Amino acid sequence: MILTGVLVNAIAVVLGSGVGLLFKKGIPEKITSSIMSGIGLFVLYVGAKGALGTEGTNGLVTILSMVLGAVIGSALDFDEKLTRFGESLQKRFHVAGENNTFAEGFVYATLLMCVGAMSIVGSMESGLTGTHDTLYAKSVLDGVTALLLTASLGIGVGFAALSLLVYQGGLTLAAQAVSGLLTPIMINQMTVVGSLLIIGIALNVLNITKLKVANYVLAPFVPLLLLQFFK
């Protein structure tokens, strides 16, 4: 089934978050703070590796993609909408005792698990070839990340599985539909832009910046348009 990889990924997030809940009250704050810093450093490594390790990309396309993505995302205020959606989930499911960490965990996890290079490449691999190896590997990483994030930020992290289903499922189906139009250069360019967003997430997790990364969520897809003009 073409969506098998996406479903496995979502289940891994839910299971990881469930295990993380078991440890949430038993971990001292100084340890959870260290865990978050460790996650932030790893995420920074993943983003830097993706941004610097992809060949054949165009720097001008990358910066224009970030700028255009930011303009569109800021105009539509994706960051605020995503935060409000997280808060509405908290109210809908009557999650008590989470305070602001429910929405924070939901937003962090959604961005971390959805805008990365593995998310884009894995979904496209599933849609184009019907193989799910990348998403299976991502499922392991996301499961562990969900466990650690939930231990620090609460059950909101687990609800990111909903975002993942919609985002990666949509990418997979779209890749299948336009398989004849995508080229390796397009995929590499999208990977670079997505990796820059991961770096932004890492800086936020490390409390270095407070970037509204969700406002850049369309940036990885802008190269599909720009590469029609930049060869």
Euclidean distance between CA atoms 22 and 8, whole angstroms: 22
Answer yes or no: pTM beyond 0.85: no
Return per-residue pLDDT of the chain as tens, 231 residues.
889 999 999 999 999 999 988 877 666 777 777 877 887 888 788 788 878 877 778 999 999 999 999 999 999 988 888 888 877 876 776 555 555 678 888 888 888 888 766 788 788 888 887 888 889 988 988 998 898 888 888 888 999 999 999 999 998 998 888 777 778 888 888 888 888 988 888 888 888 988 888 898 889 889 989 998 876
pLDDT of the residue at 74? 93
Euclidean distance between CA atoms 120 and 72, whole angstroms: 20
Query: In terms of Cα–Cα distance, which of 25, 30, 12 is closest to 147?
Result: 12
Return the sign of the alpha-carbon dihedral for residues 78, 37, 193, 15.
Answer: negative
Tokens at residue 206, please? Answer: 């490390």
Query: In terms of Cα–Cα distance, which of 87, 109, 107 is closest to 98?
Result: 87
